[in-house]
Each structure stands twice: as structure tokens, then as C-alpha cells.
Structure 1
Amino acid sequence: MQEGFISTREALARGDGERVKLRGWVYRKRDLASKVFVVMRDADGVIQCVVDRSKADVAAQASSATIESSIEVEGVIRSDPRAPGGKEVEVEKFNIIGLADDFPIKGGESIDYLLDVRHLWLRSRKLTQIMRIRATVLKALRDHFTSNGWWEVSPPILTQSAVEGGATLFSVDFFGRKAYLSQSAQFYLEVMIFSLERVWSLTPSFRAERSRTRRHLYEYWHLEGEAAWMDMHDMMKFVEGLVKSAVKAVLDERQEELQFLGRNQEPLEETLKSSFAEVTYDEAIERLQRKGVNIKWGDDIGADEERVLTQDERVPFFLTMFPKHLKSFYMKVCDRRPEVALGFDLEAPEGYGEVVGGSQREDRYDVLLQRIKENNLNPDDYQWYLDLRRFGSVPHSGFGLGVDRLVMWITGIDHIRDVIPFPRLRERIYP
């Protein structure tokens, strides 16, 4: 099927006079008196194809091609500074493979409409650039785990108990019994550290909280890790390296995409050069109060407060040492300050807010059991989780990284719906 076809990127690298065969889709078209101009797109980019009207049969084919028709062209490379990429194809053969109906996206449509036709809007150059960056981020994250000796495991999506809390669960009927869509793979990963020590997974997670913000999805991609023998600061150091590996890969490999999106790359470059600072919850409350935010010690730091904290920052930083009543029961309590949990959030700068949440896990059976009861949870539902503290418990820590939020910050995109192929939003489920 390949038969000598090359990509638009390869074609733009060829010299004048070289023959090329390309295939893709019609991105734009102009019919003039003497020529037909067809801008063709493929996964790598776009290239201008020019058909002279003197080639009547070829010109007729090009002229009849509609936007988003799939095509094959063959011709000769010519330099032209007016063409995208500075080169074009002087077409000698033009074949329509799939003639497209009138394409329903013409420019200027509303967000709601574009979401309704998401299956077609994903062809846009903007979303194509974002998905390429997303793929690069995922590969870099995987490579970082592998190079540091972590093991990938495959936890289930259906679970019988909550990780974070019942109010945010999606329930499903599992053969007459109630089960839930996973909020997190954490508990299952904790099981695996007793054999493999350092484990990670990439799975969808589901949260039913009724939030409508620019960074909220009801189904999102969750990169999680758990490691034996690590305390909170050990895990923070690993997370810093993990995030930097993704930023570096994008800066090294996706320059064209970043430039197309108009991303200011200075914060990304500064991120690689800087150490991530640690800001305690106490310090964050003081900063927010100085900025005029009505907040006191013990209040939650939500999306609005995170935006205030991060909007003037250029580099990610860790927010640590939260009041324990704000955090989950499994987080270890600080020995020096029993009202505080050993948890951390990694806050992305420029107003983006939390992209990673993690903590040192409570490794003592009696303390964990008491925390479960304090949170009005049924200990019977967590007996297997408690067993981990009865049979060779060790200090351990873990984290969850929201892939979509990380990609959102790296690309500089305003809304999380644009960094995932098919966003699940509260209003309705799109195709």
C-alpha cells in the first residue's frame, strides 16, 4: 500500500526537481483562471500542490476535490517562498480517493457546535498539534519510569471501594452488586510495592463531583506511582524529575507545534533550569491573605486560590503540609504536627494550578484504622487495604499526575477539553 508515498515533512525536505508521491486530505483549495491550488494535509503538516490548467484532466480532478476529500498526488518539488514551508508540488497526477461531502466546519463556529462534531474537529491543525505534543509527553513519562527502574502494572477500573470519598463516585451495577468506576489506582499500586517495590500505571479515572472549570473532566487520564521506602520528599524529588522529562522532550522534539500554538516557551525553559520550591500550606495562606483573598488556616485551597497563587509564577512549585482534615485518610500524619498531613501538590505556574497530588502513605495499622473510622468509612470495605499494614508494612509514598492538566500547561491551552481527544463533560457525552 505504501508504493513510494512520503509525508509532507519529507517532501518539504526534498530538493527542487525531485519527484514525490503524497497522500492526505484537502485542507484548502483555490480555483484560479490558470491554476488550481490545493493545500494538502497529513499527520506531519501541510504542503501546497499546484495544478496548471494546461493539464486539463488533472486540473479537472483537482478542481472537483472538496474540502477534506482524501487524495493522492504525484509531481515535482519546486521552491516558492509564498507557499507554506517555502516549497510546493507541481502536480502531474491527481487522484481523488474519497470525495467528501460539504464539510460542516467552515470557521467561526461556537464551542458547543465544535464539541458536537468533535469527530470532525479533531482534524483541525490546532488539535493535531496538541495531540502530537500529548503523545510526546506520554512517551517521555513512560521513558522516565523505565530508566529509573519502575515497573508498569495494570490495575482494574472497576472497584468495590472509594479512594477519595463516596460523593465523587460513579456507581455501576456489577451483576446485581454495586461497584464503582475507579477514582484512582492507588490502592492496587500499593499492593504491588510489596513485590515490585516501585510501580506505576496509566489508566482512566472518574470523578463525579459537579465541577465546571476550565481544568475539570469527568474522565481523565491518570498517571500514578507508588514506591516502597520513599518518604514524602523522596517522592517529590522523583515527581520533579518526571515532569521535567516531559517538558524537555516537548522542547526538544515539538518546536514546530509549540510555535504553531503560539506558546511562550520561556516558562518551560526556566522550569528545566530551576529547582521546584516547596511552599507550605501555612505560607500559602499568608500569601493569599496578602493578596486580598478571604481565607483562613483550615480552609481548602481550591482552583480559584491556586490561580491566585500561581498566576505570577514562572516555574512549578510544591504546596505541602496540609491540615489533615482537608486530605484523605490514607495520608500519613506529621509526628511533629499531628494536625498536618504529609501531602504535596505540584502547582503549575501561569495560573494553571495543581497537576500532581501525592503524599507519604500511612503505614501503621492502628493509625490507618482510626483514620478510616474518623472519616465515617466502613473498615470492612478496607480490610484488604489494612492487611498491607499487618504483613510487612514499610514506609512508602505515591502520587497521581493528571496527564490532561500537564499537557494543558505545557501547551499553554486555555481549556482542558482541547488536550484530550474526546472530553467527557457534564452536559453530555460526546462521540
Structure 2
Amino acid sequence: MSTDCVIRNVSEHVGETVKIGAWINNKRSSGKIQFLQLRDGTGYIQGVVVKSEVSEDIWNAAKSLTQESSLYVTGIIREEPRSASGYEMTVTGVEIIHLTENYPITPKEHGVDFLMDHRHLWLRSTKQRAIMVIRAEIIRAVQQFFDGNGFTQVDPPILTPSSAEGTTNLFHIKYFDEDAYLTQSGQLYMEAAAMALGKVYSFGPTFRAEKSKTRRHLIEFWMIEPEMAFVDHEESLRVQEKFIAHVVQTVLKNCRAELESIGRDVSKLENIVAPFPRITYDEAIEFLNGQGFDIPWGEDFGAPHETAIAEKYDTPVFITHYPAGIKAFYMKPDPNRPEVVLCADMIAPEGYGEIIGGSQRIDDPELMQQRFDEHQLSEEAYQWYLDLRKYGSVPHSGFGLGLERTVAWICGLDHVRETIAFPRMLYRLYP
């Protein structure tokens, strides 16, 4: 008799006969022994078929298996120190489910376009599976942090009537007889939720109709957006650094094998411990101009600027107090210097750029009305947002983290296209 098992749990069945549903990741033979590299989604194990120990039918069935063929394999689990998993299976039975012919992704090199066209199959590869496991662990760590620190998860709408930041980069759709847009941020709605629940966070998809082809941009991506009532800028920064340190250390603890399997230098992640360094926008401008960049005060930073700053640090770094003119209308001015706002971008090390943007929000009703007028924003569409300052306004702060950029940084990937199962990019809507 055999016990149904998954590869992840084989350590619990050493010396026992188990049955696993699996695919053939690879196969090799040395005459009278066949080595089946098996995967089942939870892990990998080598199955060893010895000709003298199985029937001719089982031997031939094993011999006929091709890359990505599916099967039920039965065998005895034993410890094997030379194996990456520490275990191996002595195969006693093979039941073929489906024999695959001409699987398109072979062990040879393939171009990026080919792999992206076959993303539905590329996901099966060792590296892509590991990235998806790490992404899932990052999501668990995010929710664990906020759920464990008094935050309530709230889901803002994906369909919105307008955008307080303008509609140029939004996807327009018809909402029956009205115009509507796919959300580019749930922040404004989360501010409303914070006034009801104190500390809240959202986790969901956002959309930017931005015609950008950089390695940091996706058209559809996921955001984590916390908002906190009665929290000022300084306290928000402390929450942000504790949050990121928690996520990184949790992934290190639970996904070290996956990180190492994709070639990530985990020593760089072991440095990610709060608190993080901080520099002001003024200090950043001075540093960049000293490094040969010609960037005047009042101009926003691009990828080369962020990379140059990040190279000074082994951990993420906050850049604070940007000029009000290059930041969103809702950010609170510094009372001691109104031309800058109480905000910060968190820049990841190793050239991965901004992963968090946050600020203290304006809580003064008159100043918020003034900002609406200056930016010619629709009061009709967002009167409810003005109401938040009209009825019980309080100091509050929040931030947004882009999940895919964070996955790229933690995994050490060159491009965000590998950080989500089915990426949507400027010229990529298939599969």
C-alpha cells in the first residue's frame, strides 16, 4: 500500500512507499538505471528506476516519458545527502497520465520574446516557480505585518469616476452611460477608511496607461497602500522601515532555498534591518551635482539619480522633503518651510529604484480647498474627499508600496516582467 504525498512533505515519509502526482522536469539514463527529475509544484525530487528491480512494463513506461509528461509515480522515499532536497525516491511504479510531444521550452537558450509568448509554460521552469513562491511569501509577510499591528484590510474600488491626479495615465471605460476609469491608486478611498477604522491597508491591482518600456514598469501591478489616522510623517517613516525589514527577514527565513536557487546573494538581504538612513531632497541634489549630474533644485529624480544615491547604502534609503511643485496636491507642507512637503520616497539598494512613496496628508480644510482650486480638480467627482477634512479632520499619513518592484529587488531580477505570473506591458497582452 502507498500513501498519497506531495514532494514538499517527503521528509515525513522516509522508508515508506508513497504515490506522487508529478511532471517530468528532465530525465537521463545510464544504461540500466533511469533518473527521473520530478516536480509537482511543491518541490523537486529525483526518482531512480533500476531495471533489475521493476517489471519490464514499468521500465518501458519510464523510458517513454518525455519532458513535461505527467504521471503518478510510486516509490520508496530515502535520504540522499547528495540531493539538493536531501531525499530521493526509489521508483516501484509508473502510471502515465499524458505523454507530451515537442514541448516548446527545452533546456537550450530561448529569447525573451519567445519565453514571454510561452509564459503559460515558462512558469513551470525552476527559476520562475521560485520567483512565484517568493512573491507569495512576500504577500504573506505584508499581511502578517499589518494584521499583527492593528491595521484593518479594506478593499477600495477598482472602477473610479475620475482621478484627483489627472486622467492622462488612466484607462478609460464606459460605466453604463457614464465615464469611468481603472484605478491607479486606492489611496484617497483608504483615507476615508482610516477616518472610520484608524489604521487600514489595501492590497489590490492598479493600472497605469503609461507608455513606458523600462525594466521597472508594468501596466497592471499590485499595490499595498496603508493609511493611518493620528500619525505624522516621522511615525509613518518608522512604520515603513519596520515593515520592509519584516518582509525581507521573513522571506529570508522561509524562502532561503528559493532565493539561492535563483542565484540571489542573500548576504545583501541580511543587511536589511531597521532603521534606514535618511537624506533630504536638498542633500540629494547637492550629492548628485557633486557626482556630475546637472540637476537643478525643483526637478524630480529619474532612475539614474536614484541609482547613484542608492549606491551609497547597503539598505533602503529615504529621500525626504521634496519640493511641493513636483509632488501630489494632497501632501502636507512642512510648517517650517512651506515650499517642501512632509513626504519621503524609499529607494531600494542595488539600483532597484523607488519601492515606497508616502507622505503626511493635508488635514486643513482651507488648504485642501486651495489645492483643489490650484490643480483645477473636479469638486463634483471628489466632494467626498473634501468632506474628510470638513467632518472631523485629523493628522494622518500613508504610503504605497509597489509589489512587483519589491519582488524584483528581493529576488535580484533584471526586469519586473518576471515578478508576476502574467505581466501586462506596453506591447504585451498575451497570454
Q: TM-score range by the shorter chain?
A: over 0.9
CA contact (8 A) 2:238 2:275 kept: no
1:219 is aligned to 2:217 = no
1:60 is aligned to 2:60 = yes
1:344-359 alignment to 2 at 5 Å? 344-359=344-359
CA contact (8 A) 1:127 1:418 kept: yes
**Which moves more between the two structures, 414-423 or 92-101?**
92-101
Aligned residue for 2:3? 4
Instruction: Work out which of the residue numbers 25, 28, 40 in structure 2 matches 1:27.
Output: 25
Distance 2:304 2:11 in 1: 46
Give the AA of the match of 1:215: R
Structure 1: gaps spanning 5 or more residues = none
Give the AA of the match of 2:62: A
Distance 1:163 1:101 in 2: 53
CA contact (8 A) 1:71 1:97 kept: yes
1:41 is aligned to 2:36 = no
Aligned residue for 2:339? 339
CA contact (8 A) 1:65 1:99 kept: yes
Q: How far off is 1:377 after superposition?
A: 2.4
Change (3 A) 1:10 1:229: same
Give the AA of the match of 1:259: E
Secondary structure of 2:330's counterpart equals coil
Give a deviation string over 1:324-360, Cα, whole Å, max 9, x none.
1100101111121111111111111111111011111
Aligned residue for 1:207? 208
**Which moves more between the two structures, 25-34 or 109-118?**
25-34
Q: How far off is 1:13 after superposition?
A: 6.2
Distance 2:82 2:105 in 1: 26
Secondary structure of 1:21's counterpart equals strand
Distance 2:26 2:245 in 1: 38
Give the AA of the match of 1:5: D
Distance 1:124 1:318 in 2: 36
Distance 1:12 1:41 in 2: 15
Q: How far off is 1:170 after superposition?
A: 1.1
Aligned residue for 2:361? 361
Give the AA of the match of 1:252: K
CA contact (8 A) 1:312 1:351 kept: no
Q: How far off is 1:201 after superposition?
A: 0.7
CA contact (8 A) 1:204 1:220 kept: yes
**Which moves more between the two structures, 153-162 or 76-85?**
76-85
Aligned residue for 2:128? 127
Secondary structure of 1:427's counterpart equals coil
Secondary structure of 2:214's counterpart equals coil
Distance 2:358 2:372 in 1: 18
Distance 2:29 2:277 in 1: 57
Aligned residue for 2:270? 269
Aligned residue for 1:237? 238
Change (3 A) 1:204 1:26: same
**Which moves more between the two structures, 307-316 or 398-407?**
307-316
Q: How far off is 1:34 after superposition?
A: 1.5
Distance 1:245 1:56 in 2: 54
Give the AA of the match of 1:11: V
Give the AA of the match of 2:8: R
Structure 1 residue ranges, 4+ long, deviating more than 6 angstroms after superposition: none
Give a deviation string over 1:397-422, Cα, whole Å, max 9, x none.
11111111111111111111111111
Give the AA of the match of 2:3: G
Distance 2:83 2:140 in 1: 33
Q: How far off is 1:98 after superposition?
A: 2.3
Q: How far off is 1:84 after superposition?
A: 4.5
Distance 2:359 2:22 in 1: 48
Aligned residue for 1:424? 424
Q: How far off is 1:82 after superposition?
A: 5.4
Aligned residue for 2:48? 50
Give the AA of the match of 1:208: A
Give a deviation string over 1:85-113, Cα, whole Å, max 9, x none.
45432211101112223211013111111
Q: How far off is 1:79 after superposition?
A: 5.1
Distance 2:3 2:152 in 1: 40
Structure 2: gaps spanning 5 or more residues = none
Count of residues paired in the alignment: 427
Secondary structure of 1:271's counterpart equals coil
Distance 1:163 1:319 in 2: 24
CA contact (8 A) 2:24 2:37 kept: yes
Secondary structure of 2:110's counterpart equals coil
Secondary structure of 1:168's counterpart equals coil
Distance 2:178 2:78 in 1: 67
Distance 2:198 2:81 in 1: 57
Secondary structure of 1:286's counterpart equals helix
Aligned residue for 2:317? 317
Give a deviation string over 1:34-63, Cα, whole Å, max 9, x none.
122211012232111122234311011111
Identity %: 45
CA contact (8 A) 1:369 1:379 kept: no
Q: How far off is 1:76 after superposition?
A: 2.1
CA contact (8 A) 1:27 1:39 kept: yes
Secondary structure of 1:167's counterpart equals coil
Distance 2:204 2:130 in 1: 23
- Calculate the aligned-residue CA RMSD, in Å: 1.6
Secondary structure of 1:141's counterpart equals helix
Distance 1:140 1:289 in 2: 38
Secondary structure of 1:338's counterpart equals strand
Q: How far off is 1:64 after superposition?
A: 1.3
CA contact (8 A) 1:12 1:47 kept: no
**Which moves more between the two structures, 145-154 or 376-385?**
376-385
Q: How far off is 1:68 after superposition?
A: 0.8
Distance 1:166 1:156 in 2: 16
Q: How far off is 1:8 after superposition?
A: 2.1
Secondary structure of 1:368's counterpart equals helix
CA contact (8 A) 1:35 1:51 kept: yes
Secondary structure of 2:140's counterpart equals helix
Change (3 A) 1:280 1:198: same
Give the AA of the match of 2:9: E
Distance 1:408 1:110 in 2: 20
